[in-house]
Amino acid sequence: MLRLLIAIVLCLLAGCASIRTSRVETLSGEAMGTTWTVKFVRPKQSPDLLELQRGIQQQLDTVDAQMSTWKPDSDLSRFNHAAANSWQTLPPELFGVLEKSLALARDTGGAYDPTVGPLVNLWGFGPGRKTRTTPDAASLTAARARVGWQHIELDRTTQRALQPGNVSIDLSSIAPGFAVDQISQYLQTAGIDNFLIEHGGELRAHGHRSGNEGWRVGIEQPDSDDNLAMIVVLNNQASGSSGDYRKFYELNGKRYSHHIDPRTGAPVTHALASVTVITDDCITADSTAAALSILGPDEGYAYAVQHNIAALFLVRTDDGFSRTMTPGFEKLF
């Protein structure tokens, strides 16, 4: 699923007005079905902005060409349509992301599952025809039979993955974070040491915006385009968010989230509106936020505390939203 990541808006607040913005450059574009923005402090040896723009775009396009489920000619789409019991050689980047996604699936007991694609499609949130009807029992049983991260086998030596047959992998809850990390690596190689990357709501900061000040960003309040839940400062950190308030539909008075729990085969029913994770790299922040959004406010919080994850949970209540931080999140601020 091309997961609509919760927008963490770049926060250029009054408190940032003293920043010497003349040294901050901004590049932006579109990729992977969403937008990207890179803000960076211009180094003494000024880079070629056009070349930098092209380099950033190339990083994103490479990830998209490998991991998109919307492109029929992507490496991932070819794997998904490969013959049963066939070993498929994968590009190193795709293999690494798949390996990490399977490790997270194992660790969360299948709450996070990169093979959930058939269920995502069945409920109308994937590529192809959009449905607005509740799946019948037979269709649901058939889709659930195709889901299960345990079906995927990897061979590290040959960088191959086994397609057991009719299994569809979806990496849209981890690939954007990986793309941000790729941009981060590219920028540092290009001599850019102080920057903030935003891609579809996923963020990674490096260095400082001015002096010793980190990069200030705002975490969006669910169901609002203008209000912020809080402001955080990223210091060589990444942030990933996931929520249910931008991609859903209502049917007969019931709300259906795009977050599908592989363990039940249906959209989640808990009250978690959004969760934000802050960690060292964006692939971890992105995928962990997705996992916590499935686990929910109680099971997800317990998992985050157990694994020392810095996470902020925003939960719907009758009076609006409650805010819960893990100890790891509180320590950051």
| Mean pLDDT, residues 323-329 taken together | 96
* Residue given tokens 């590529």 in the structure block: 127
Helices (H), 146-232: 175-189
Give the whole-angstrom CA distance, residue 123 versus residue 219. 28
Residue where the block lists tokens 């935003």 = 198
CA 165 to chain centre: 27
Beta-carbon contacts of 244 under 8 Å, excluding residues fewer than 6 positions away, are 257, 258, 259, 268, 272, 273, 274, 293
Q: Residue 92: its pLDDT value, please?
A: 97
pLDDT digits (tens, 9 = 90+) for 69-86: 889 999 999 999 999 999
CATH number at residue 147: 1.10.3980.10
* Percent of residues, the chain, with pLDDT higher than 70: 88
State how far the Cα of 38 lies from the Cα of 183, in Å rounded to an integer.
9
Pairing of strands 254-257, 248-251: antiparallel
Q: What residues make up the domain containing 91?
A: 67-163
Question: What is the number of helices (H) and of strands (E) in the chain?
Answer: 8, 17
pLDDT over 60 (residue 206): yes
User: Residue 176 corresponds to which amino acid?
Assistant: P
32 assigned to some structural domain: no
Beta strands in the chain (DSSP E): 24-31, 34-41, 86-89, 153-155, 160-163, 195-199, 202-206, 215-220, 228-234, 238-243, 248-251, 254-257, 260-261, 266-267, 272-279, 310-317, 320-325
Summarize pLDDT for 276-313 with one digit per residue, the tens. Answer: 999 999 999 999 999 999 999 999 999 999 999 999 99
Confidence of residue 212 (pLDDT cuts 50, 70, 90): confident
More confident residue, 244 or 216: 216
pLDDT of residue 130: 62
Amino acid at 186: Y
Q: Using DSSP, state whether 112 is helix, strand or coil.
A: coil
Q: Are the C-beta atoms of residues 283 and 239 closer than 8 Å to each other?
A: no
If residue 165 lies in a helix (H) or strand (E), which one and from where to where?
A: none
Residue 300 contacts residue 112 (beta carbons within 8 Å): no
Is the pLDDT higher at 246 or at 235?
Answer: 235
Q: For 248-264, write each residue's pLDDT tens digit.
A: 566 766 777 788 999 99
Q: CB of 221 within 8 A of CB of 315? A: no
Q: Would residue 60 count as lying in a domain? A: no
Tell me whether residue 182 is exposed, middle or buried, using C-beta atoms within 10 angstroms of its C-beta: 0 to 12, 13 to 18, 19 or more: buried
Q: Residue 311 is encoded by which pair of tokens? A: 């996470």
pLDDT of residue 250: 65
Number of domains in the chain: 1
Give the pLDDT confidence of 1-58 residue by residue, as tens digits: 333 333 444 444 433 433 344 489 999 999 998 999 999 998 888 789 999 999 999 9
- Greatest extent of the chain over all pairs of C-alpha atoms, in Å: 64
In a domain, 58, yes or no: no
For the beta carbon of residue 35, count every other beta carbon within 10 angstroms: 14
Say if residue 89's pLDDT is above 90: yes
According to the model, what pLDDT value does residue 283 have? 98
Average of per-residue pLDDT across 143-162 = 96
Global pTM?
0.89
Structure tokens at 110: 């299948």
**CA-closest candidate to residue 46, choices 165, 191, 224, 168:** 191
pLDDT of residue 290: 96
